Structure formats: C-alpha cells, structure tokens
Chain A
C-alpha cells in the first residue's frame, strides 16, 4: 500500500479530494438519494414476478447479470431469482404493493453505498481488483456483475460507454473499497468528489 494512504484511518471512507499523480484518470462520486431494495423469488414464482414487472413497471426482469431500466425503477440481476431494485422515494412500498408475495422485498437503501466511477483509466484501475473481464468488447452498457473486488463482495453495472460503472458496496466495506480505489488509481490521478 502507498504511504499516503496511511494518513487515513482504515475505518473511514477516503474523503473527497485529489489523490496520487496529477490528472483525473479516475473520478469517483458517491451517489445519494436513490433507494435500493432486494428482491428474492422462489423458482416457481419467477414467471409470475416477471409478468407483474412487465405489467406494472413495463420492464423485463433481466434473466442474468444485466440491468433493465425504466423511468422510475431499474432492476439489476444479481443471482438466480434475485435482483436489486433502485428507484426514487418510496421504492420499497411501491415494490411490495405490486410484487409481494411473488418476491421477498427488503429495504437495502442503507445497506449498500453507491459509487459512480468514470475516467479514462478506470478500466486499468478496476483490473487491479476485479477478476472478471470488463473490456468494452465483452462488458457492455447494461451488463452487471456480482463479484469480489479486493476481498469485498460488490455488485456493479455499466451505465454508459464513457464508461461509467456504478458500484453497490456493502456499507461497512465502503472504507476498504475507497482505499482499494484510491490506491489503484493513484498512478493515474484520482478525484474523489
């Protein structure tokens, strides 16, 4: 680990600022204001759930690690019969009223911290932690993955071709995630905003 990181206590998220070499190879922004909920459906209820999502949200629930986004809500496939939903205020109630009991719905708005990551050297930075291929020819906008980065379980998806990756990190792992990110992006210049 780089010396400059020893200034920051390991239990705290690295504060906003510029780190490492000059430039902005990677820009990290914490996203607030989105509510998050987890959906879990028993195998025999998945079709029913799909139908309700189509009817009520106009969305096809992704059948794999993909993102399906509508106007007010988006779903990320995180496992067989499991999704993360993101949306505006009142998300949990909205989902529960339309999708329960086909799916178990749990509020995760406080359990997951969202970071948007972008910048010209982002893929080089993420390669230092992710053991999956995020080359633009392989991992395209709308693709998602639930995997580990630097010993931390995360879900992330690609929003656009800039590229902007959105990471959902368990709350208590956010400091470790920020340390991984800043250390790995230091040689390219890292901006935390």
Chain B
C-alpha cells in the first residue's frame, strides 16, 4: 500500500471496494480511480494508442493523456474514461484497454519494434497501393491495432437531460481565483453561478500545502464554498465542466449528476447538459503542467510534478518509493519538499537551471534532498520505471528510482477564452501563452491568465469578480484579498533533452514523438495546424492539453522561429469530451420529437387502426379487419366501400388559417395564382401558391365565410411553412393590407365524409333546419351549421376522393363524438373508416397531386394547372414562373400510367425511358411519382412527371426501377382514372 497513514481529503471512515482488470482493490470515499490505483501500487494502467507502450498515470486531472480505461460493464461500459477524473464509488469496475491478451503482456507491443516504420504520415506513405486494399485490408487492420476502448453496443440504459440557467456572472473554476471571483461578485449582489469540473471544490488549494488567512488552503476553500452555497444569489455546480463559449454569452456545461454512483439515482439523469446564459463570465480554469520531452518519458512512474503533489496532499497516496524530480521551474521544488516532509524518499531534484532561488535550495538541503543543478534526464528504464540516467557537467549518473516527477512549466487553461477565435499571446517571462482577445463579457483570472502565485490568484479573482459585477451595476467596494504568500515561480524555457536516448514523447495520447515533429518539419508540415493534422499531435480526448505547447515549441526551434511567430492551434469546444446523449437529453426514441395525435385518435384506436407518422402527426394508416391478410386488402376494401357507399377519414391535420380583414381578398389574389377576391360568400375554391422562384409551394382550398372572413386550408406538411410565408408577406411586403391571420388548426376537428351515401349519413347528424340539398349546398359550397344537437360546425362540400363529399368541422373536443355519430348514422350503409393509404389511392385514381408531385421542382403548368393561373393580376412567383426554362414544353409534366400487361406492379421512383432504349441516365425522360393499386380498375396505376407527358397519351414507355429490379412497360394515359368528368362530385 502506498497510502499514507494520515492526511488527505479522503474519508477513511468510508472504505470502498472496486476492481481493476478483475482484481479487487480498496479505496476511500474522496478518491478518484487514479488515486485509488496509486494507493494500491498499480502503476501500469493502459497501453498507448499506436505503439502499445505500457503507460501509467501522468496527471491528476482532466488533461490526462495516458490513463484511459473502460469503465463499467454491460450496457454501461464506457471506453476512454480518464481514471484521473473518475470519482471512486463502491463496486466500480474498470478495465484497461487497447491491449491483448492482457495489460502486462500485450502482443501488439510489437508495434513498438516497428516504430521506425510507423512515424508521422505512415498511413499516407505505406498504404497507398493497391488502392483497393485500403478499405478491405489496411483500414480494418489499422483500426484493430490502433485505437482506444470498446464502446458498449447495447442501448444506453441511462437518462440524460438538458437544462437552462441564467446568471449575471458565471465563474468557471473554483480554485483560489474562481472562489474569490465568485465571492466578490456575489457579495456585490450579482446572481452568480460557480462551476467546477471536480467533485471537491478548491482547485490547487486542496493539492498544495499552503495557508490562506491563517488556515490551511483546503479549509479556506471549504469555508468559501460553504459561504457561497449559503447565499440565495449563488448556485454552486460541482462535477460540472463548462466546455464551450457560444454567441451572446451562452456557455455550454456538462453536469455529471450520477457518474459518481454505480447507477444514477432512480428518476435522476446520468448527466445534464446546461445552457448557461451569463451576462459576464470569469474564466478561472487554472493551468496545466507540461512534461519535458526526453527518451522514455512515457514510462509508468513518470508523472507530472503537480500530480504527484496532488496525490500526496489531497489523496494521501505516495506514487512511488523513491522519487526524483526533473524540472525547469521552482514549482517542482515545492513538490520535492512536500514529498520529503511527508516522509517520502526524494532521490534528487534535477533542474536544468544552474541557479535556483536560495530559499528553495536551502530548504532542500535542510531536508537532506540531493540537488543536481544543470542536470538533464537522458533516459529511463523498466516496464515500470526502475532507473533514470542523469547527465550533468560531471558526467552521466544512473539513479535507482521508481518515480520521476517532471515539470516543463505551466500552460494557462485559456481554451475557453479562444472559443470565439481570439489568438493567445506568448509571454516569455512565464514561458506560456496567455489569453488574447476573449469572447465578449469574459474576463480571465488567476493562473488561466498567467498569474501563477497564490496571493496573485486570490487578488486577481477578487478584482475580476468585482469588475464583472460592477460592469452590471453592482457597486460594492471589494474586500481586501485574503492573506497568502506568492511562492517562487521562476521558470526557464526548456522543452526537450537534445541528447536523450529512446523514444521521446511529446503527445502521450497519440504516441507523437519529438522525431515525428522533426519528420513533419522535414516534409514541410511546419504550420501548427499542419503539424497537428500530419502527426495527430494534440488530437483525441485530451486535445493536447499537456502536449500542444511543447510540440509547437519544438517545431519553432526546428524552423528557427520564435514561439510567438509559430502561434498556437485553434481552440474549439468542447473543452473535454461530452457524450452525444447529453445533447439529445430527453429527446430519444419515441420522444425524439413530439407526437401529435388527431382529435379522433382514441376513436381510431378503438376501430383497430394501424397508425403512421406523417410529420409529427400520428394518423390512421388503415383499419384492418379480421380475416384480411395484408394492408393492401384492407385498403382495397376501404376504397371500395367509400366509392360504393360511404367512408370517413379524419382530415384535421390540414393546416387551417383564419383570415379576417378588409383586404383578405386582395391579399389572397397576391399569394395564390388564381383569384379569390371574386369568390362568393359561402363558396370554396381550390388554389395553388407559388414560391418567389415560380415553383409550386403548396395547394389547398380556401372558403369565404363572410365579407371579410376567409378560411384557408394548407397541406398537412406545409401548415407551419405557409403560415410563416403569409405572415412574412403581411409584415414585410404589404404591411398596408388589413389582414389578420390566426392559426385555427388545433381548434377544429375536421372529418371528411365521402361516397354516394354521404349526404344521407350527414343528414342524420346535422341539426334540423339545415338544407343539404344540391341546390342549397352545391359542390364547393360552404356554410355554418350545428350538428349533434347544438354543436357549432362548419360544412364544406369538397372532395379529395372524387366522390360526393363533405368536410365537417367541429370544435376539437367534439371530434370523437362526431366520428361516433357518423359511424352510427352510417351503420346501415356499411360505412367504413379509412386511413391515409385509402385516401392516397383515391386521390391517385382522381389524378390529384400531393406531396410527391408538389416536390419543389414542379411548376403549375407541369401539374396541369396552367389555365388556373390568372393573367389579369400579379401574384408571388408569376414573374419567375415565366422564365423560358420553366415554360419549356419539353419539361416533365403530369401524366397517368398503367402497366400494359395490367398485372404488373408499378413502383414509385421508377424512371421512364423509351422502349428499346437502355435504362441509362442519358435516356431518362422523367419518373413515376405516385402509384397505387386501383380497386376501381383492378390494376396498378401511377402518376408521373414525363417530358411532354400530357401530349403523349397512348404512347408506351419503359418504367425502370433498378433499385428494386422492376422493369415494366407502361401506357401513358390521362392522370384522371376515375370519373374524369367529375359527375360524382356534383350529385
């Protein structure tokens, strides 16, 4: 056990058991998986991406490049989880990944021997030939060998959700700067949200031995958090990563609600995606320690110095027995001193610098720590680190150590500050990039802004928090920052040990070495964005948090440019990976989008309807009866029953738009191609609307209910679009017109009753005194009435089926009662409810166009409505519809089609070619848009768009359907197959 006997911010009264690669281990509440593994002396945690090199734990945070594990089992198994961010829970199951057959013995480690062949760009150079082999051989082989964990292939059993939050000031990060910023803003009266990715707030205050206002840093942090949590104007989010900055002060954040539990609590989501709208924000995300590049710097046991400090102080876990430090800065010295004070053995502090602040060296000497100034680690050995070789002026020396803490300086976590494209600026004095132009409203505080001392962070936090609040009108003199010391933070830029031996890694996660950077440079991929793409430096889950700056510093040196000239790669959201499920939230499965039932849904269900989704609506597709073998049999019966006697269908889904005002007639004349101002009161007219570009947008009927009152119907699919279009016309094009639009789609249930007995059935439900005779309510007539004893109703004598038809509209709550009443009244006539399939069959039999013909590529003329278009007025689309190409008589136009042999089935989507011509694109003359089996004719029929179609009645064509293997000879005919003169409509 490497667990120290005392100390740490773990709860020793709550032991937890967990397993790693099948081995049972123990930890405590407050541990991460990484700290618990360290406490159990587990050093080998994973295999690297490309070379399958053994890897351990490098960091103690979300920047972790190495310790990626598969977490959980079964449907909850999640690959590529950073052990350093996983909060330990009882029963946690973790497994190493990217190894076979075992972590200790991985056959793919042979890749390491091949590494001279597998350098940057090896895919492009090696797998070029033969081209065919890429998909079948090379790619699968590469994918098997290279890679990360295995995803569970089972459905995700957990729930996710999205939520919105609003605040004056969002503080990102709850370290010393963030806590002070939140406190200053909150005390000034601003609404504050404080978010931190950790489960314990305080940042480095919990990881370093420090004092603030006379108390231990961790105690100070706990008290500050408690104060914030107690304020009514503050919300504190732990386990929450702010991952992106979007427009207008919108921040994306992921809250891990249940990831610290074996399963989320019942009824709680696993994760919650927050959209935080903040007037101001303070980014206090701290800084990330960089490794130094030298041979064997990736060996398990080599760890970031601050991570060693975190494991030691926060988790009371000593990562190794004998630890050496290798650094270019003062911070690492304090880590060495912490180890020594905790009773650990510090083999040496190796610093590339020849001179270091005497306060550090004196303290090290006092604690008996050996100091090697001007030294460099040149190589390491051991599967788990056993020894290192150090070169100094006096020669090369071998040190037996099982731990090496390294530090190449610090990179401010400025990612979010760059999400709007602001480029970071290089600062030589701290050897780091600091934020450039930040997104509007975002201030950067503390280490994220390159201010590295504790006192400086606390003071900067107070200042930025107060500044953000003051900006919003919350004036309060900020309190003095708490007392603390600025520890020594000198640094000398240093990236790479030039004279080292063995693979020297820049990016651990992607196995990118210093040599790969050299290759990229030699081959001309010198710009940082090219370097990234050519070598994969800085890609994948860690996005190069530990490696980017080092990589580009090496490139800068190779290219003889400064780092400032070389520049950094672009920062894009998300800061750390976010599960896709979190973006979906509740909208999964049947809740992907709303389901809209019709007013007669329950009635249709009782009638045994099979339903179909049409847009958001759920409509009855057909009503199978006992003994019917398939849908076609049911649909054929429904059509026959309607044509022979009477049938009904819920037509409520059509868009219904109420138009009132003096100018409605004039308005309709401008949006329809035909004239509506002349429509008499009590009449309905069919109309076509064009888009501005001259193509047909929608069709439908509009009734005139009064002098200044019209009611328009649109197709189901276009209901919202047409409303929007009309609203646009009124608001933008013709605001002078007195027209008021109101959607009444939801208000009215509308049932279409069709068939020769429709009038007789309707008469039974209509209240006495309403004359339904052909004279009183002729075809295309409309009137108001009451039904079922006083229920207000609107009657429209219109027909989509081609039969005598009425549409009866009643307030939606009465829709079901109306359906029942009509069924009862129609019992003697064998009334049949029919669904959208039968509706479609009947409209095809009548040659009525619908969605497949109103496809956005057809003109009114194409569809046979050329004569409907008025030449006496202007309307939307008229000018553009007159373009020569749209008037071309050779354009595909609407025609009907029958199979010549009458027994063949037609298929929508089949393409027309002349007989004897091959089924090739150059012979294409159009396509079949809609087909149906016509019960009236006893064979399949189709509508289609064929070049000069309407002039070619009687000709024969091939209808080729290579997708489904169909090739049918068809005869061109009129698109109206049933009752061409419309006699049945007018009876």
Q: Contact residues of A with B, CB < 8 Å? A: 1-3, 5-6, 10-12, 20-21, 38, 40-43, 101, 103-104, 106-112, 127-128, 130-133, 135, 137-138, 150-152, 170-173, 175-176, 179-180, 183-184, 186-187
Please judge, given known A-B contacts A38-B742, A42-B661, A131-B164, whether A2 and B596 are in contact too, CB under 8 Å.
Answer: no
A10 touching B586, Cβ below 8 Å: no
Q: Which of A41, A127, A135, A173 contacts B596 (CB 8 A)?
A: A173
Please judge, given known A-B contacts A40-B740, A104-B661, whether A10 and B267 are in contact too, CB under 8 Å.
Answer: no
Interface members, chain B 736-795 (any A CB < 8 Å): 738-742, 744-749
Interface centre among B164, B267, B744, B749 (most CB of A within 10 A): B267
Please judge, given known A-B contacts A20-B267, A40-B740, A172-B596, whether A5 and B746 are in contact too, CB under 8 Å.
Answer: no
Cβ-closest chain B residue relative to A150? B586
B868 — which chain A residues lie within 8 A by C-beta?
A: none
Interface members, chain B 801-857 (any A CB < 8 Å): 811-814
B594 — which chain A residues lie within 8 A by C-beta?
A: 150-152, 173, 175-176
Q: Which of B191, B589, B740, B811 contacts A107 (CB 8 A)?
A: B811
Please judge, given known A-B contacts A11-B595, A41-B740, whether A109 and B589 are in contact too, CB under 8 Å.
Answer: no
Q: Which of A1, A12, A131, A132 contacts B589 (CB 8 A)?
A: A1
Q: Check B277 for interface membership: any CB of A closer than 8 A.
A: yes
Please judge, given known A-B contacts A151-B594, A180-B586, whether A106 and B742 are in contact too, CB under 8 Å.
Answer: yes
Please judge, given known A-B contacts A20-B267, A42-B738, A133-B277, whether A108 and B744 are in contact too, CB under 8 Å.
Answer: yes
Interface centre among A132, A172, A176, A184 (most CB of B within 10 A): A172
Q: Which of A41, A112, A132, A176 contacts B746 (CB 8 A)?
A: A112
A135 to B190, CA, bound (A): 13
A172 touching B166, Cβ below 8 Å: no
A175 to B813, CA, bound (A): 15
Please judge, given known A-B contacts A108-B744, A110-B812, whether A175 and B597 are in contact too, CB under 8 Å.
Answer: yes
The 0/1 profile, CB within 8 Å of A marked 1, for residues 255-271 of chain B is: 00000000001111100
A43 touching B735, Cβ below 8 Å: yes
Top-7 shortest CB links A-B: A176-B594, A111-B747, A111-B746, A104-B740, A104-B660, A172-B596, A110-B812
Q: Check B590 for interface membership: any CB of A closer than 8 A.
A: yes
A5 touching B747, Cβ below 8 Å: no
B735 touching A184, Cβ below 8 Å: no
A10 to B589, CA, bound (A): 10
A1 to B586, CA, bound (A): 5
Q: Check B161 for interface membership: any CB of A closer than 8 A.
A: yes
The 0/1 profile, CB within 8 Å of A marked 1, for residues 698-711 of chain B is: 00000000001000
B265 — which chain A residues lie within 8 A by C-beta?
A: 187
A12 touching B586, Cβ below 8 Å: no
A40 — which chain B residues lie within 8 A by C-beta?
A: 660, 740-742
Q: Check B598 for interface membership: any CB of A closer than 8 A.
A: yes
A172 to B748, CA, bound (A): 11
A186 to B264, CA, bound (A): 13
Q: Check B165 for interface membership: any CB of A closer than 8 A.
A: yes
Q: Which of A20, A43, A130, A176 contacts B595 (CB 8 A)?
A: A176
Cβ-closest chain B residue relative to A108? B747
B164 — which chain A residues lie within 8 A by C-beta?
A: 127-128, 130-132
B157 — which chain A residues lie within 8 A by C-beta?
A: 3
A2 touching B744, Cβ below 8 Å: no
Please judge, given known A-B contacts A1-B588, A1-B591, A128-B163, whether A171 and B746 are in contact too, CB under 8 Å.
Answer: yes
Q: Check B601 for interface membership: any CB of A closer than 8 A.
A: yes
Cβ-closest chain A residue relative to B257? A187
A173 to B744, CA, bound (A): 14
A172 touching B275, Cβ below 8 Å: no
B597 touching A172, Cβ below 8 Å: yes
Q: Which of A109, A138, A180 contacts B166 (CB 8 A)?
A: A138
A75 to B496, CA, bound (A): 72
A127 touching B618, Cβ below 8 Å: no
B269 — which chain A residues lie within 8 A by C-beta?
A: 187
CB distance from B563 to the nearest CB of A (A): 42
B165 — which chain A residues lie within 8 A by C-beta?
A: 127
Cβ-closest chain B residue relative to A177? B594
Q: Contact residues of B with A, CB < 8 Å? A: 157, 159, 161-166, 191, 265-269, 275, 277, 585-591, 593-599, 601-602, 611, 617-618, 658, 660-661, 708, 735, 738-742, 744-749, 811-814
A34 to B746, CA, bound (A): 16
B740 touching A103, Cβ below 8 Å: yes
A106 — which chain B residues lie within 8 A by C-beta?
A: 658, 742, 744, 747
A108 — which chain B residues lie within 8 A by C-beta?
A: 744, 746-747
A170 touching B746, Cβ below 8 Å: yes
> Can you pick out 8 interface pairs between chain A and chain B where the beta carbons lie within 8 Å of each other?
A6-B589, A11-B595, A11-B611, A104-B661, A110-B749, A172-B597, A173-B596, A176-B591
CB distance from A94 to the nearest CB of B (A): 16
B596 — which chain A residues lie within 8 A by C-beta?
A: 11, 172-173, 176
A164 to B536, CA, bound (A): 55
B591 touching A172, Cβ below 8 Å: no
CB distance from A167 to the nearest CB of B (A): 14
B595 — which chain A residues lie within 8 A by C-beta?
A: 10-11, 175-176
A12 — which chain B residues lie within 8 A by C-beta?
A: 597, 601-602
B598 — which chain A residues lie within 8 A by C-beta?
A: 172
A38 — which chain B residues lie within 8 A by C-beta?
A: 742
A137 — which chain B residues lie within 8 A by C-beta?
A: 191
B746 touching A151, Cβ below 8 Å: no
B166 — which chain A residues lie within 8 A by C-beta?
A: 133, 135, 138
Cβ-closest chain B residue relative to A11? B597
A49 to B835, CA, bound (A): 45
Cβ-closest chain A residue relative to B268? A187
A6 to B155, CA, bound (A): 14
B268 — which chain A residues lie within 8 A by C-beta?
A: 187
A150 to B735, CA, bound (A): 33
B599 — which chain A residues lie within 8 A by C-beta?
A: 171
CB distance from B472 to the nearest CB of A (A): 13
A154 to B594, CA, bound (A): 13
A175 — which chain B residues lie within 8 A by C-beta?
A: 594-595, 597
A21 — which chain B residues lie within 8 A by C-beta?
A: 266-267
B738 — which chain A residues lie within 8 A by C-beta?
A: 42
A117 to B157, CA, bound (A): 29
B735 touching A135, Cβ below 8 Å: no
B742 — which chain A residues lie within 8 A by C-beta?
A: 38, 40, 104, 106
Q: Which of B162, B590, B744 contacts A111 (CB 8 A)?
A: B744
B617 — which chain A residues lie within 8 A by C-beta?
A: 172
A101 — which chain B residues lie within 8 A by C-beta?
A: 660, 708
Please judge, given known A-B contacts A151-B594, A172-B617, whether A110 and B740 are in contact too, CB under 8 Å.
Answer: no
B597 — which chain A residues lie within 8 A by C-beta?
A: 11-12, 172, 175
B591 touching A5, Cβ below 8 Å: yes
Cβ-closest chain B residue relative to A38? B742
6 further A-B pairs in the complex, CB-CB below 8 A; given A12-B602, A171-B599, A187-B268: A41-B740, A127-B163, A127-B165, A171-B747, A180-B586, A184-B586
A41 to B742, CA, bound (A): 11
A43 to B813, CA, bound (A): 33
A183 touching B586, Cβ below 8 Å: yes
A137 to B748, CA, bound (A): 39
Please judge, given known A-B contacts A10-B595, A108-B747, whether A2 and B740 are in contact too, CB under 8 Å.
Answer: no
A41 to B596, CA, bound (A): 29
A179 — which chain B residues lie within 8 A by C-beta?
A: 586, 591
Interface centre among B601, B611, B745, B812 (most CB of A within 10 A): B812
CB distance from B817 to the nearest CB of A (A): 12
A1 to B585, CA, bound (A): 8
B747 touching A151, Cβ below 8 Å: no
CB distance from B233 to the nearest CB of A (A): 8
A132 to B277, CA, bound (A): 9
A38 to B265, CA, bound (A): 44
A75 to B310, CA, bound (A): 61
CB distance from A67 to the nearest CB of B (A): 20
B661 — which chain A residues lie within 8 A by C-beta?
A: 42, 104
A45 to B105, CA, bound (A): 83
A43 to B730, CA, bound (A): 11
